[in-house]
């Protein structure tokens, strides 16, 4: 996997514009210095110059005229960029980010957007790089974080990000951000991030042609799902459920546990009211073990997009993945209801297992004002309506323009408004990074030994260790 990402490549026209801006800034700085020098060498009785970062200075010259000059501190480039850290490097994710950068560039043409994206692992690799940078006191100006315990239990707990109440008040965001979301990005009355979207994790994607040819309808319960998978295997499809690398296994785990246990018991795992060593968890793990028998043997070598492609190609019939999968399907030219179809993961209909991508403001951000400019665009109607239709998500704001969204995303908007909402494990809502890491380790061992009892014991120990 890549290390820290590179800058977004500039077009020839962007390079020309950027160099022109640098030249103009340098010229302005040289002019300011010349004016200060002239003032210092003049015979005026009233010559005073105060030069501070970004401040407008008044210089009285020999003629008695007062000239105002804005002087930037240090390297002119340092005040004209914002470094934004994310894990959006492929599929509709990168295209969605590019669409929002276009909005940012139009609103703030004098600020260079430095795209520091790290690929792989649904953010696992990126968060490891970010943790190293934060430990070294070298934060990016802003970074992507999932709403929920990933944000509150990790970055807020470590005092690494600034509250953003001032920005919510300035932009009127409390009027348009959902009540469900604000508590998940807040602590002690302070709001700590700007959510850009809502994703649904419990989505079953399918190839409609494969299902039609096999005489199979979209399953609505786990038993119906098993029957469909058995029929496909009997017809010669070795792995009818496509899966990718280990984080997608955790994603499959959370959706099957929700389907098996039910929403109350799933939610109880995270507030202590459901015992990890209890019978509901045992049944859920048995269902998870069974569903893995229908997956492809090369899963560890595949990205989530690769697993989705197996469905489009008809090599597999199903894939369980968040609705960013639809962003990938659309990007490669597949059409809804012909190339792919969807439903809630069997057993989870009426539940919206959600996550939300958001961006934060680093404490001691090297380019704080520029980071605030970025966050303003990230929370804006224009920014979210540029980003989400391409990303394959719905806006966090409640006032998005529905005419911009396709068939699937319109259905997701309606379900978000009407379904029971529950949180994602894989994508940071219900557990902080350390607890999730322990669960991930337990899943990895289970993939090797298949020991359900040992798996459950490890999950119970992880919950106890998390406090």
What does the DSSP 8-state code read for residue 239? Answer: -
Burial code (b: 16+ CB inside 10 Å, e: under 16) for 242-254 equals bbbbbbbbbbbbb
Longest CA–CA span in the chain (Å) reads 98
- Residues with pLDDT less than 50, the chain: 1-77
Fill in the DSSP letter of residue 152.
I
Helix (H, G, I), strand (E, B) or coil at 62: coil
Same domain, 253 and 331: yes
**Alpha helices (runs of H) in 5-123, residue ranges in sequence order:** 12-41, 91-107
**Domain CATH for 379:** 3.40.190.10
List CB contacts of 353: < 8 A, sequence separation 6 or more.
200, 201, 202, 254, 255, 258, 422, 423, 424
Specify the pLDDT at position 78: 52
For residue 394, the model assigns a pLDDT of 98
User: In this structure, are 374 and 441 located in the same domain?
Assistant: no
The alpha-helical segments, DSSP class H, found in 123-221 are 124-135, 149-150, 165-171, 208-214
Same domain, 399 and 448: no
Q: Could you tell me if 126 and 253 lie in one domain?
A: no
- CA angle 450/456/458 to nearest 5° reads 95
Same domain, 292 and 436: yes
Asked if residue 378 and residue 273 are part of one domain, the reply reads: no
Tens-digit pLDDT profile for residues 31-52:
333 433 333 333 333 333 333 3
Inside any domain, residue 249: yes
Residue 6 resides in a domain: no
The per-residue pLDDT for range 335-378, each reduced to its tens digit, is 999 999 999 999 999 999 999 999 999 999 999 999 999 999 99
Within a domain: residue 174? yes
- Give the model's pLDDT for residue 175: 97
Residue 182: inside a domain: yes
With respect to residue 63, please indicate whether it lies within any of the assigned structural domains.
Answer: yes
Please tell me the predicted confidence (pLDDT) of residue 12: 41
Please say which residue of 76, 93, 113 terminates a domain. Answer: 76
Q: Do 211 and 72 share a domain, yes or no?
A: no
Q: Half-sphere exposure (CA, 13 Å, Cβ side) for 13? A: 0
Structural domain harbouring 188: 80-200+355-423
pLDDT > 70 in the chain, percent: 83
| Per-residue pLDDT, 200 | 98
* Residues of the chain by 3-state class (helix, strand, coil), percent to 5: 50, 15, 35
Cα distance between residue 71 and residue 53, in whole Å: 7
Bridge partners of residue 427, in order along the sequence? none
Residue 86 lies in a domain: yes
Please indicate, yes or no, whether residues 156 and 209 belong to a single structural domain of this protein: no
Domain count, the chain: 3
Q: Cβ(156)–Cβ(191) under 8 Å? A: no
Angle 383-113-186 from CA coordinates, rounded to 5°: 55
Does residue 98 lie in a domain region? yes
Beta bridge partners of 195: 358
Specify the pLDDT at position 79: 61
Tell me how far apart the alpha carbons of residues 239 and 295 are, in angstroms, rounded to a whole number. 5
Cβ 351 vs Cβ 422: under 8 Å: yes
Query: Among 404, 423, 442, where does a domain finish?
Result: 423
Q: Are residues 48 and 32 in the same domain?
A: yes
CA distance 321 to 342: 10
Residues 85 and 216 placed together within one structural domain of the fold: no
CA dihedral 139, 140, 144, 149 (to 10 degrees): 10
Q: Are residue 41 and residue 92 in the same domain, yes or no?
A: no
Distance CA 178, CA 174 (A): 8
> For the whole prediction, is pTM greater than 0.85?
no
Q: Which of 41, 59, 76 is the last residue of a domain?
A: 76
- How many other C-beta atoms lie within 10 A of the C-beta of residue 2? 13
**Alpha-carbon separation of residue 450 from 289, 290, 390, 445 (angstroms):** 7, 10, 39, 8
Same domain, 223 and 370: no
DSSP state of 126: H
Residue 5 in domain: no
């Amino acid at each position: 996997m890549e290390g820290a990402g590179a800058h977004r490549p500039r077009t020839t026209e962007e390079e020309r514009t950027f160099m022109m801006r640098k030249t103009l800034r340098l010229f302005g700085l040289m002019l300011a210095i010349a004016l200060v020098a002239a003032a210092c060498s003049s015979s005026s009785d009233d010559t005073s110059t105060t030069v501070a970062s970004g401040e407008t200075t008044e210089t009285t010259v020999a003629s008695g005229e007062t000239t105002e000059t804005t002087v930037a501190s240090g390297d002119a480039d340092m005040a004209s960029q914002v470094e934004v850290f994310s894990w959006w490097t492929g599929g509709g994710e990168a295209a969605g980010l590019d669409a929002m950068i276009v909005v940012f560039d139009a609103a703030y043409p004098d600020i260079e957007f430095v795209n520091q994206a790290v690929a792989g692992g649904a953010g696992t690799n990126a968060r490891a790089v970010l943790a190293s940078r934060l430990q070294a006191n070298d934060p990016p100006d802003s970074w992507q974080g999932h709403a929920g315990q990933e944000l509150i239990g990790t970055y807020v707990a470590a005092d690494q990000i600034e509250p953003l109440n001032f920005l919510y008040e300035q932009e009127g965001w409390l009027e348009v951000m959902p009540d469900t979301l604000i508590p998940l990005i807040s602590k002690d009355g302070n709001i700590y991030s700007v959510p850009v979207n809502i994703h649904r994790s419990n989505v079953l994607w399918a190839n409609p042609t494969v299902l039609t040819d096999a005489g199979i309808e979209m399953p609505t319960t786990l038993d119906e799902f098993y029957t469909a998978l058995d029929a496909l295997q009997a017809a010669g499809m070795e792995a009818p459920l496509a899966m990718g690398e280990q984080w997608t296994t955790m994603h499959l785990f959370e959706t099957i546990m929700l389907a098996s246990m039910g929403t109350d018991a799933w939610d109880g795992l995270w507030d202590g009211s459901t015992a990890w060593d209890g019978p509901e968890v045992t049944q859920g793990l048995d269902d998870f073990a069974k569903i893995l028998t229908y997956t492809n043997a090369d899963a560890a070598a595949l990205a989530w997009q690769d697993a989705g492609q197996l469905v489009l190609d008809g090599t597999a019939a199903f894939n369980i993945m968040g609705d960013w999968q639809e962003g990938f399907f659309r990007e490669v030219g597949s059409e809804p209801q012909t190339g792919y179809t969807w439903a809630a993961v069997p057993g989870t209909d009426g539940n919206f297992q959600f996550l939300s991508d958001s961006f934060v403001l680093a404490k001691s951000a090297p380019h704080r004002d520029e980071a605030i400019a970025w966050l303003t665009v990230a929370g804006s109607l224009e920014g979210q309506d540029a980003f989400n239709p391409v990303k394959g998500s719905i806006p966090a704001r409640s006032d998005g323009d529905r005419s911009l969204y396709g068939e699937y995303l319109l259905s997701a908007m309606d379900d978000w408004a009407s379904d029971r909402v529950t949180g994602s494990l894989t994508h940071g809502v219900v557990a902080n990074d350390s607890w999730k890491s322990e669960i991930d380790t337990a899943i990895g061992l289970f993939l090797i030994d298949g020991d359900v009892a040992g798996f459950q014991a490890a999950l119970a120990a992880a919950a106890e260790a998390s406090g």
